[in-house]
Chains A and B, each alone.
Chain A
Amino acid sequence: MLTYLANPARFMRISGVMLPPLGLATVAVLALGLYLALFVAPPDYQQGESVRIMFVHVPAAWMGLFAYLVVAVASGVALVWRHPLAEIAAQAAAPLGAAFTLVCLVTGSLWGRPMWGTWWAWDARMTSVLVLFFLYLGYIALVNAFDDMGRGARAGSVLALVGVVNLPIIKFSVDWWNTLHQADSVFRMGGPTIDPSMLWPLMIMVLGYLLLFKTLLLVRMRTALNEAKARALRLAAPARAAEAPPPDATPVLR
């Protein structure tokens, strides 16, 4: 499968077909999720209406983690197998992951103020998510810090793989340490503790965020391939001009 998709021309063809339905599905699912989150889901018996922040906060947190996993796996594949699209995928996913993590941090802070009485606490969950955000920024900065794009990509890949250690820390921080952040209420032994009337809108928002991530990942990968092709054509232009016949020869433009 990897070898099949390693061909950029094949990737452009397949992703070009996938992009319109994926974009439409993203808009439809996000619209449904927002409707359920704002109009249908009931207020929480303790949090009241502030629970509606969870419908934008929790999916952002999960996508921040998922996107980093994509960056790390793609970086590993790029380093080991020199997969031509893997570096492009990692570099396309990183800004998206940073955006989701930023949304997670800001919306979490907006929920924390009325519920915990504070905008921020240096507890293990919040601090490790902040570290994740800085890992994204570090990766993006490192990839763009070199004149040689290949060296930048390799340095970024190494950083992305080192940063994977932060993912289990984020996931298990609420179990390993005594945190202000509550324990997991969806992915836990014994099933979710959230009522289905809130769980379904949450899951639909998660699906909407996931579709958004996939759509934008394809868009950004296609952009990177277009830009690489344009660079290659520009570099080849002087050589083509040198090989071209003199102006008094048969005109190219008929």
Chain B
Amino acid sequence: MSGLQSWAQMGGYAVFVWPAYVVALVVLGGIAAQSWRRYRASIRDLNRIQRAPRER
């Protein structure tokens, strides 16, 4: 068995270790992505409103 395969098996605990890391990545990465998307949308929205009177 290669070193990488052995490492990935986590001494027989792979079925618990990897889902734990995936959950952390999905939940924290998810809230980070959602926060960033909403932030960018708020900037776009604000710019649109601030531009509007000048364009009238």
Contacts and interface: CB of A to CB of B under 8 A. Distances in A.
Contact of B16 (A38, A113, A240): A113
A103 B16 contact: no
Contact of A253 (B19, B50, B54): B54
Given A99-B31, A103-B24, A110-B23, A230 B49 contact: yes
B35 A220 contact: yes
Interface stretch (A53-61, A154-162, A169-177, A186-194): A53-61
B46 A110 contact: no
A229 B20 contact: no
Interface in B1-56: 7, 10-13, 16-17, 19-21, 23-24, 27-28, 30-32, 35-36, 38-39, 42-43, 45-46, 49-50, 52-56
Nearest to B52: A237
Determine which residue in A60, A96, A226 has the highest number of CB atoms from chain B within 10 A of its CB, and name it.
Answer: A226
Contact of A53 (B20, B45, B52, B55): B20
Interface string A36-74: 001100010000111011001100100000000000000
Interface of B: 7, 10-13, 16-17, 19-21, 23-24, 27-28, 30-32, 35-36, 38-39, 42-43, 45-46, 49-50, 52-56
Contacts, number: 98
Given A49-B13, A240-B53, A252-B53, A226 B42 contact: yes
A114 interface: yes
Q: Is the interface of B mostly helix, strand, loop or mixed?
A: helix
A252 B49 contact: no
Contact of B27 (A102, A110, A230): A102
Given A49-B10, A230-B45, A107 B31 contact: no
Given A53-B17, A99-B28, A110-B16, A230 B11 contact: no
Contacts of A151: none
Given A95-B31, A110-B23, A244-B56, 10 more contacts: A99-B28, A100-B28, A106-B27, A219-B39, A223-B35, A226-B43, A234-B49, A237-B49, A237-B53, A253-B56
B56 to A, nearest CB: 6
A234 B49 CA distance: 7
Contacts of A252: 53-54, 56
25 contacts: A48-B11, A48-B12, A52-B10, A60-B24, A99-B30, A103-B23, A103-B24, A106-B23, A107-B24, A110-B17, A111-B16, A113-B16, A114-B16, A216-B35, A219-B35, A219-B36, A222-B39, A223-B38, A223-B39, A226-B43, A226-B46, A229-B46, A233-B50, A237-B53, A252-B56
